[in-house]
Structure 1
Amino acid sequence: MGLKYLEQTKTIVLIVLVLMSVTLTFSIWSYHPNYEKVDKTNAIDISMEQKRQISEVVQPYRLLVNQNGDWTGTADTSDMTRVFDELKKWELSDVSAVSNNFSISKLNDLMLLDNRLIFQFDSEVPMPIFQNVLPIIGKKVPEVSFDHMIISWSSLNQDDVPANELTVFFSNAKQKQLYRAKIKIQNEKTFEKKILSELKNYPSYTPVQRDNTNTLFLPTEPQKMKQYKYLISSTSIDDFKSALFLTPKIVKMSPDNKEGVDRYSDDKSIMTIDRENYKVNFVDSTANENQENIQKTNLIMNTFGFINQHGGWTGDYRYSSVDYNAQKVDYQLYIENLPVYETDLGTTKIETYWGNGRIYRYNRPTYKLAYLPQEKNKQIELLSGEKVIQKLMASQSIDFNEIAALRVGFTMKKDVKRSSIYLFEPTWFYKVDGQWHSIDEIDREVGGDTNGLE
């Protein structure tokens, strides 16, 4: 009996072991660990300041109006924005070529006619980019550029022109090009009420005509302007490092205390931080400067997009120039609607160079500015346009006909009593060979007043 039960017991144990083996094997095959969900690693999102729209960066620097021979004008951004906002309600269409031999003298003639609304830009603006400022309807916008937009409303009273239609000219005297379009307005009364009536309240301007060069437009009366005070601080250098280097973790820093700079580098690029002058210079040594040029529209949009991506608008920087051959775009610092052309620091511009599908040179300030409302801003009376002209014409070192532009801007100077405070003084500037110069230089030539102000 015992042997019989022993054999049965062995059989049962064997069956149990086989079943356990099968069960264990199946469990191993079908087992899925309950790992925690791991998010995919994203690229570092560096944002120094808020991103901007292209229409905030590409803007005219001045609006001029000629109503029956009476000239008025403004450099106030809010004034010009109001006009553009009204124009956006209407229809701009039918952009077409008029002339490929459009000279400076022809531009002067066109501007000096009665009933003209003129927007002036610092540099040529490609039409596809301008669509972000003032949309154009109809067929595809041509890849043309302009630096003057001239709206004529003389046609409102002509029988051979459709009712409520204005003529718009886009000129590029440097390229000798003139284009024409039309704006369909709601009605004549709305145009007079919303646009023309307000323009009459702008300050008076005087056109200064010269031989074989562009007409200058200057305020007729002396201008009273404020001197502003701003607190200066530095943007995080780590933000620049993360924005400019492809692999920030491998970047090494080597200080040069004698020169007052810090150098950051990897195996391809070098970034130099000038601590004293709040300036950064970046160079990607692998980029080829002789690459094939891209269209102006893409060049401007690429450099704008690069700055926008890392929130590099540490101030009110605006598009100021494009060098198509060098693939270079500059953005100028503004405060209180006026450019800052002179400083005792490193620079007041963001300079961008595009090549090999990315930024290969990047020069700019590292400082940020904060307005100090509690500070008293003294009033300064600038010279009238007429007196500025007299001073320039009397200078022995300046050919008056070589002056490309004449504007009021700011000089940025350190407060002698407080190192972290900077003064912004309104100053007349003139432009020769692409460079802005303070009228103070003329005063220093003759040993006179060094501020160029009254």
Structure 2
Amino acid sequence: MKHVEQIKSFVLFLLVFLSLILTFTIWTYTPDYQDIEDPQVEQITLGDKKDIQEIFKPYRILIHENGGFLGSTAPTAIDTLMDAIKDLDATELRFIQSNLSEEKLNSMIHSENQMTLFFPAEVPINAFDSVLQFTQSELPEIAFSHILIDWSNIEETNTLQFSFISKEKQTLYTTVVGVGQSEFNSTYMKTVQKTVPYEEIVRANELSLYVPSNAVDLVQYTYYIDEISTEVFKDILFEDTNIVQKNFDNTTYTDGMAMMTYDSGSKTINYVYPASESMVEIKHSDLVHDSYDFVNDHGGLTGDYRYSYNNIPKHVIEYQLYLQGLPVFSSVTSTRIAVTWGANQVFEYKRPYYLFIASESSTRQLPSGVDMVKTLQTLKDIDDLVLGYYLTPDPQKAKVYTLEPSWFVIREGSWARLTPEPAGGAQYGLE
């Protein structure tokens, strides 16, 4: 019995010791937490995203060599040239001249060993640097409507001179681009193979017009179309689709802040977020980048849409639909995507919701540009005379559209179709 007390004391000591160990373990224990991953939400898109250089394309290449002009609107020629430019590096951009006259620009385009790229709208150089890389870290906030590529000195220097000209601001900047002669010759020959003879139409105190010298054979297309569901646009454009409601005629969606309407006749949608409206000044390059990011993030460039128009004071950027290198115009539907930027987000978004899915084709011949010029009463205040496609629905077949090759007059971003007179003769008139 004399050891009982000792045993009890030992057991009590052991229990206290174990209690202390357990308490210490509880205080110092850190569970192995696993990171909780956010559930992956599949992004809704209309199509594939595009690189920004795919929307900055000239609508015409013009070459002056051996005293004559060659020109092309062929996608293969333009893509070959733009792909080659994308691989080049330019030196510092240098200011050369302001108040550049129309006569001076005509003279530059007319220079020997000169290639001119015509763009449908002024392109900010700070957006184009994703195509052509410059050595300087900060570029000026300028834009251009023409790029002139001079290869006069390539044999001696292995360089090209790029001239960036703004028709609107009448400014001239240049840079030097290094390129091997064999590399240039390869690109040049691939481009020239797609060219046809062009004529210069000289106008007093205005820029010359440049048109094909001969009759033009183009393909007329009949396209079957598909439609992007307006429900998809609702899911993309509204932040909380659970509170979006339709009105009584099912043509308007709203969440109380934003509104989207659609027109089944013209197959277009119009989204507006009134609270974001702002007239605060936005730089041209920022406006281009913001609108491009907005549309491209949801794969909204669902065809060959190209940057084609801007209204900087009103924050508007537009993208024109092209087919086989030619712009598509229509009186019954929209062939443009228009973005109006607001306070750090889109204010208005207008666009078509149709897609071309299959086609039939036939060949049609159009008069030469020289002959078309003769039918016009005046050449004054015309920005350009271009070939394009006129989009119309087939009256006999649902969801079937015809794309008819036609001549168009362009003035300040607007178009007018030149159509044969009812008598069926050679005379053409504005539609």
TM-score, normalised on structure 1?
A: 0.83
Shift of 1:30: 9.4
**Which residue, out of 270, 275, 278, partners 1:286?**
275
User: Shift in Å at residue 361 of structure 1?
Assistant: 0.6
Distance 2:221 2:428 in 1: 15
For structure 2, which runs of at least 5 residues remain unmatched after alignment? 1-8
| Greater shift in the superposed pair: 133-142 or 303-312 | 133-142
| Residues 253 and 262 in structure 1, CA contact (< 8 A), matched pair in contact too | no
CA contact (8 A) 2:276 2:344 kept: no
Q: Describe the superposition over 1:148-204 as per-residue Cα deviations: whole angstroms up to 9, x where unpaired.
A: 0011223357xxxx62233221100210111111122213x5534541575165111
Query: Quick one: distance in 2 between partners of 1:379 and 1:147?
Result: 32
- 1:299 and 1:198 mapped to 2: Cα distance? 32
CA distance in 2, matches of 1:212, 1:437: 23
- Rate the CA distance shift 1:135–1:31 in 2: closer, same or farther, 3 A: closer
CA gap of 1:419–1:163, structure 2 versus 1, over 3 A, is same
Instruction: State the identity %.
Output: 28
Correspondence list, 1:332-347, <5 A: 332-345=320-333, 347=334
RMSD: 3.4
Aligned to 2:370: 386
Secondary structure class of the residue paired with 1:424: strand
Deviation at 1:140, TM superposition (A): 3.2
Distance 1:21 1:249, change over 3 A: farther
| Preserved contact between residue 158 and residue 180 of structure 2 (Cα < 8 Å) | yes
- 2:339 is paired with a residue whose SS is strand
Looking at structure 2, the residues matched to 147 and 22 of structure 1 have their Cα atoms a distance apart, in angstroms, of 82
Q: Given the superposition, is the C-alpha separation of residues 327 and 385 from structure 1 closer, same or farther in structure 2, using an over 3 Å criterion? A: same
* Equivalent pairs, count: 427
CA contact (8 A) 1:327 1:353 kept: yes
Q: Which amino acid aligns with 2:307?
A: Y
CA contact 1:100–1:177 (8 Å) conserved in 2: yes
Q: Which amino acid aligns with 1:252?
A: V
Q: Secondary structure at the match of 1:191?
A: helix
Q: 1:113 to 1:448 in 2, by over 3 A?
A: same
> Where does residue 173 of structure 2 map in the other structure?
179
- Which residue is 2:264 aligned to? 275
Q: Partners of 2:423 and 2:32 in 1: how far apart?
A: 84
Q: What is the DSSP-based 3-state SS (H/G/I as helix, E as strand, rest coil) of the residue aligned with 2:246? A: strand
2:386 maps to which of 407, 414, 421: 407
Q: 8 Å contact 1:251–1:264 — kept in the other structure? A: no
Structure-2 separation of matches of 1:234 and 1:190: 44
CA distance, structure 1, for counterparts of residue 259 and residue 190 of structure 2: 55
Q: Deviations over 1:264-283 (max 9, x none)?
A: 11121111122232111111
Q: Could you tell me whether the CA contact under 8 Å between 1:84 and 1:134 is conserved in 2? A: no
Given candidates 301, 311, 315, the residue that maps to 2:299 is 311
Is the Cα–Cα contact under 8 Å of residues 72 and 200 in structure 1 kept in the other structure? Answer: no
Worse overlay, 83-92 or 355-364: 83-92
SS in 1 for 2:157: coil
SS in 2 for 1:425: strand
1:223-234 superposed matches below 5 A: 223-234=216-227
Cα distance in 2 between the residues matched to 1:390 and 1:339: 23
> 1:156-167 alignment to 2 at 5 Å?
156=154, 163-167=157-161
CA distance in 1, matches of 2:394, 2:285: 41
Whether the 8 Å CA contact 1:55–1:133 is kept in 2: the answer is yes
- 1 CA distance for matches of 2:184 and 2:51? 27
Question: Does the C-alpha gap of structure 1 residues 23 and 324 become closer, same or farther in structure 2, counting only changes over 3 Å?
Answer: same
Q: Within 5 A, what are the aligned runs for 1:198-237?
A: 198-199=191-192, 202-237=195-230
**Displacement, 1:129?**
1.6
CA distance in 2, matches of 1:262, 1:308: 25
Deviation (angstroms), 1:113? 1.8
Matched residue, 1:55: 53
Instruction: Work out which of the residue numbers 235, 245, 251 in structure 2 matches 1:242.
Output: 235
Which structure 1 residue ranges, 5 or more long, are not aligned? 1-10, 394-398
Cα 1:360/1:301, change in 2 over 3 Å: same
Instruction: Mark the CA change 1:317 to 1:197 in structure 2 (over 3 Å): closer, same or farther.
Output: closer
Output the TM-score relative to the length of structure 2: 0.87
Residue 445 (structure 1) shift: 8.8
- Conserved? CA contact 2:375–2:427, under 8 Å: no
Query: Which residue does the alignment assign to 1:396?
Result: none
Query: C-alpha distance in 2, partners of 1:283/1:197?
Result: 45
Moved more, 134-143 or 236-245: 134-143
Q: Deviations over 1:298-352 (max 9, x none)?
A: 110110000111111222211101111011100111122211112422x111100
